[in-house]
């Protein structure tokens, strides 16, 4: 038995078996034109990438860097030697004696400045007496090698002089050019000294966890309340009626008004001694004594949450109303003909269309409210159980003058928002198709 080769299929007329084979695939990789277009695209994007890096990334790196540094508010400027020069003795004529005085100090109270050197050009017409042994005089040029200045170091160098004719002719005043003073000092911001004491101080004790809990309560209820009230306002103004434009403008007032103005208005309105709210409640018999709305727990936290809802619901109202007015009205007419109630139309027709914009608003409002500082600081100053993480950053950095601890709290805020953003895009955004 002989082996048979498999038969090939029929070959079309006028075409050989070799030409009927499929054409080979082109080699993988970009051709020169595609590579040129890619380089051009990256070149056009380079200014944007550089701007984003400078505006966003560099400050973020700086915060992380400062958070692991033992740096206080006074350490932001590197220590430098400081000198002032004056002429003591009030000379009035040629031949009078006086004292040329240099007052020197270290600007830092704990950092050492090494290799301090004082240089000055003495004015003409002064006869120099005995100078400090650390100083050398070459004509009118004086150089003093003063060694190292410890933290908080202060000293005075006095040189006796006699007034000459040239100095008297110049008005007996020292020249405007100040003396030079140089030295070397290590800057705590650029040194290799790192520490995790800032984070240890933050997480030590129950204070941080109580502040974090207050922040979460304020953020969650403030965000949800702003979305719910914005949704109600959008439903109210979705229909056309007389005065609709005026009412829309009034709804925007809390958001566009200056925060300092509306915050102090709320403080005056709910003042326990002269506020209109307390006077009204007492006259109606609701309470027998004035209520300190912003000074007692947990009422102060409730009030700042209400202020957050009242001030920022117009933003949600605008976005939700714009989305509702873009929904096709045909399905509402069909649902109305089928006998659907207004609530059923809202729940089964409007809500699925609004979930996308509501989820985006929830993300933005959560981040903004979590970072909110000015509202709480103006209303309560962080007292009466309203101290949030952002207020804690201010207190650590400026009230306690511990910049490192304040930066550490800022890093914790960044980590919390990073975890929230990850969970949002991992679960909520996938459900909404974002």
Name which of 251, 371, 358 is nearest 313 in CA terms: 251
For residue 24, what pLDDT is reported? 56
**Residue 126, strand partner residues:** 163
d(CA 231, CA 289): 36
Q: What is residue 170's predicted lDDT score, i.e. its pLDDT? A: 78
Residue 159, SS3 per DSSP:
strand
Residue ranges, the chain, pLDDT below 70: 1-30, 205, 429-434
Tokens of 77: 């400027």
Structure tokens at 4: 């048979």
pLDDT tens digits for range 124-134? 888 888 888 99
C-alpha span between 428 and 56 (Å, rounded): 26
Minimal CA–CA distance to 34: which of 42, 22, 24? 42
Indicate the domain borders of the chain.
Answer: 81-184, 197-432
Whole-number pLDDT of residue 267: 93
CATH 2.60.40.290 given to domain 81-184: yes
Nearest to 151 by CA among 104, 111, 105: 111
Per-residue pLDDT tens digits for 304-334: 999 999 999 999 999 999 998 888 888 888 8
On the 0-12 / 13-18 / 19+ scale of CB atoms within 10 A, 356 is middle
| Separation between Cα atoms, residue 212 and residue 197, nearest integer Å | 19
Give, for 142, the enclosing helix (H) or strand (E): strand 141-149
Tokens read off for 233: 């306002």
Instruction: Give me the residues paired with residue 143 across strands.
Output: 119, 136
* pLDDT for the residue numbered 311: 94
Domain 197-432 fold is MetI-like fold (1.10.3720)
Q: Helix, strand, or coil here: 407?
A: helix
pTM of the full structure: 0.74
């Amino acid at each position: 038995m002989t082996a048979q080769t498999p038969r090939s299929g029929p070959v079309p007329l006028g075409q050989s078996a070799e030409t009927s084979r499929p054409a080979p695939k082109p080699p993988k990789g970009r051709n020169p034109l595609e590579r040129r277009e890619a380089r051009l695209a990256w070149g056009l994007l380079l200014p944007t990438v550089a701007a984003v890096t400078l505006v966003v990334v560099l400050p973020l790196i700086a915060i992380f860097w400062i958070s692991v540094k033992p740096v206080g508010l006074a350490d932001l400027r590197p220590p430098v030697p400081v000198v002032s020069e004056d002429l003591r003795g009030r000379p009035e004529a040629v031949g009078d004696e006086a004292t040329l005085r240099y007052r020197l100090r270290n600007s830092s109270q704990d950092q050492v400045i090494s290799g301090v050197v004082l240089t000055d050009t003495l004015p003409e017409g002064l006869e120099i007496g005995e100078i400090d042994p650390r100083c050398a005089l070459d004509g009118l040029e004086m150089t003093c090698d003063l060694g190292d200045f410890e933290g908080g170091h202060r000293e005075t160098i006095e040189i006796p002089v006699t007034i000459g004719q040239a100095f008297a002719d110049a008005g007996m005043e020292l020249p405007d050019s100040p003396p030079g003073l140089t030295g070397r000092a290590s800057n705590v911001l650029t040194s290799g000294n790192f520490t995790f004491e800032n984070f240890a101080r933050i997480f030590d004790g129950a204070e941080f966890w109580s502040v974090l809990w207050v922040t979460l309560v304020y953020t969650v209820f403030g965000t949800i309340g702003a979305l719910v009230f914005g949704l109600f306002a959008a439903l109210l103004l979705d229909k056309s009626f007389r005065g609709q434009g005026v009412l829309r403008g009034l709804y925007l007032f809390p958001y566009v008004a200056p925060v300092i103005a509306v915050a102090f208005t709320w403080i005056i309105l709910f003042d326990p001694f002269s506020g209109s709210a307390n006077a009204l409640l007492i006259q109606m018999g609701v309470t027998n004594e004035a209520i300190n709305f912003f000074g007692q727990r947990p009422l102060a936290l409730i009030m700042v949450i209400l202020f957050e809802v009242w001030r920022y619901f117009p933003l949600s109202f605008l976005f939700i109303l714009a989305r509702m007015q873009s929904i096709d009205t045909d399905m509402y007419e069909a649902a109305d003909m089928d006998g659907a109630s207004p609530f059923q139309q809202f729940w089964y027709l409007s809500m699925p269309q609004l979930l996308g914009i509501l989820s985006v608003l929830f993300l933005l409002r959560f981040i903004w409210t979590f970072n909110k500082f000015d509202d709480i600081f103006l209303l309560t100053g962080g007292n009466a159980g309203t101290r949030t993480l952002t207020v804690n950053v201010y207190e650590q950095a400026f009230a306690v003058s511990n910049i490192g601890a304040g930066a550490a709290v800022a890093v914790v805020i960044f980590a919390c928002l990073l975890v929230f953003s990850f969970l949002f895009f991992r679960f909520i955004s996938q459900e909404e198709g974002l």
